[in-house]
Each structure stands twice: as structure tokens, then as C-alpha cells.
Amino acid sequence: MIKNKNLVFLGPPGAGKGTLSEILLRDEKLVHISTGDILRAEITRGTELGKSAKALMDQGKLVPDQIVADMVAARLAQDDCAGGFILDGFPRTVKQAELLEEATAKIGRKIDKVVLFDAPYDLLIQRLTARLTCRQCKANFNKIFSKPAREGICDHCGGELYQRSDDSLETAKNRLKVYEEQTSPLIRFYTENHLLAKIDASLPKEQNYGMLLAVLNT
Ligand code: ADP
Ligand code: ZN
């Protein structure tokens, strides 16, 4: 149904971009590309890129545009992306959006839709600071809104749940500030080229998912 669609999920940290990607992937065969997940994999592997990225991520700052754009361009050029993809957490600056246009043009593809996830500040802080992430499959849970069946254990794969180091209150606040300053100008960018659709991401995830499907099917 949503096959062959090339999507961007845009919105502040904690809006549920990753969570709804996870739900959407149960129904649709799209490639999920999360720049945050790719960077955390680099950190786990202990690469040079991982080391320099970790210092920035722990302060809630962005990794340089060219670095993430190159990572994404390399991933998009792989064959499996021909059936459609979700970009989750990229682009995060206008510069990254321009680099994305170059990268997709090079491989003869384009972005079909940009979904903006919108939620109020206090809820974002609450979600981020109570978030638990699976070390293994990267699924998200939440100590308040979406508890795992067994404490500390992932419902999907049995992996260990942990709190991301950038989900502390201080870093979460910084990430939201960085979003306002550097990422929210993309709302105008994608409104001007008519790709933007907005959903209210403050509802429980199943309801948000209904809205997401409605937007993707129009
Ligand atoms: P969230 O959406 O919850 O903030 P992510 O996993 O997408 O979490 O990102 C975590 C961190 O990784 C960001 O705060 C930033 O430091 C880095 N990062 C992820 N994607 C990008 C990007 N497109 N550009 C620059 N930095 C990024
Ligand atoms: Zn898991």
C-alpha cells in the first residue's frame, strides 16, 4: 500500500518518530534509516566516528552535516532502498535537506512525503526522560506510557533495556533547544516545496498510528 514511498519523519526528539516507524514496519516493507541508530552503532563498535559523535550526542548537539549526509547517501544507494524507505531523524538542518536532495537525485529517487510529528514541550520532556531503549533491537519503551511486560526486558526480543545517556533531563532540554534552532526551519523548507503533512503526535501511539496511515494514504 505504502510500498515504494520515500518518506521523511520530521519532528522533535520524543515525538515518536522511531516508535511509529517500528509499528509501520510491521505492516509495510520499507527500509528504516535512523541516523541516531547508525551513530549509536558506531559508538558501540568504538570507531573514530563513534568517538567524536558520542561527545556531541551526550551534549545534545548535532553531528556535522556532511558526516551524517554521507552516511545516509551511502545507505540510500543500497539496493534494498529501491522499495521505499523512512528517514528517521534526518535531515535535521536545512543544509542536510539540501545534501539529501543531491543524494536522491544522484540515484534517481525523490522524497514523496515529509511527515511532521507535533507534540507539546512538556510531553516531549516527559517521554524522553522516561524512555527505555532495547540494546539489541532498538525498540523503545517508556516507564510511564508504555511499560514492558517484564521490567528491564524487551517484549520483542528479550534484550536488555537501558536509558540512553542523552535522555537525561539536561541533555533532553538541550536537544529540544537544538531542534527549535536548527531543525524547525525545515518546516518552512518542506512547506514551500509542498511535501509536508502534519500529525498530532501527542496521543497514545495506536491513535497516532491511525493518523499516520491516514496521512500516508492521501
Ligand atoms: P532523538 O530523535 O530522540 O533525538 P536520535 O537517535 O535521532 O534521537 O538522535 C540522537 C543524537 O544523534 C542527536 O541528538 C544528534 O547528536 C545525533 N544525530 C542523529 N541524527 C542526526 C542528524 N541527522 N544530524 C546531526 N546529528 C544527528
Ligand atoms: Zn529488543
Which pLDDT tens digit goes with each residue over 26-35? 989 999 999 9
Phi and psi for 150 in degrees, rounded to 5?
A: -115, 130
Three cell numbers, residue 93? 538542518
For the CA of 91, the nearest atom of ligand 1 = 23
- Position 1 in a domain: no
- Proximal ligand: closest to the CA of 139: 2
- Residue 142, CA distances (Å) to 111, 166, 168 in order: 31, 15, 14
Higher pLDDT, 66 or 2: 66
Which CATH number goes with the domain that contains 19? 3.40.50.300
What mean pLDDT comes out for the span 53-79?
A: 96
Please state, in angstroms and rounded to a whole number, the distance separating the CA atoms of residues 152 and 45: 23
User: Which structural domain, as residue segments, surrounds residue 13?
Assistant: 6-119+186-216
- Position 73 in a domain: yes
Please state, in angstroms and rounded to a whole number, the distance separating the CA atoms of residues 45 and 127: 28
- Position 164 in a domain: no
- Position 161 in a domain: no
Is there a catalytic annotation at residue 17? yes
- Position 136 in a domain: no
Helices 35-45 and 48-57: crossing angle in degrees, nearest 10, is 120
Query: What is the structure's pLDDT at 8?
Result: 98
Phi and psi for 131 in degrees, rounded to 5?
A: -75, 140
- Position 181 in a domain: no
Question: What is the per-residue pLDDT across 105-163, written as a single tens digit (0 to 9) for each?
Answer: 999 999 999 999 999 999 999 999 999 999 999 999 999 989 999 999 999 999 999 99
- Proximal ligand: closest to the CA of 159: 2
Structural domain count, the chain: 1
pTM: 0.93
- Position 212 in a domain: yes
Pick the catalytic residue: 54, 92, 113, 127? Answer: 92
- Position 199 in a domain: yes
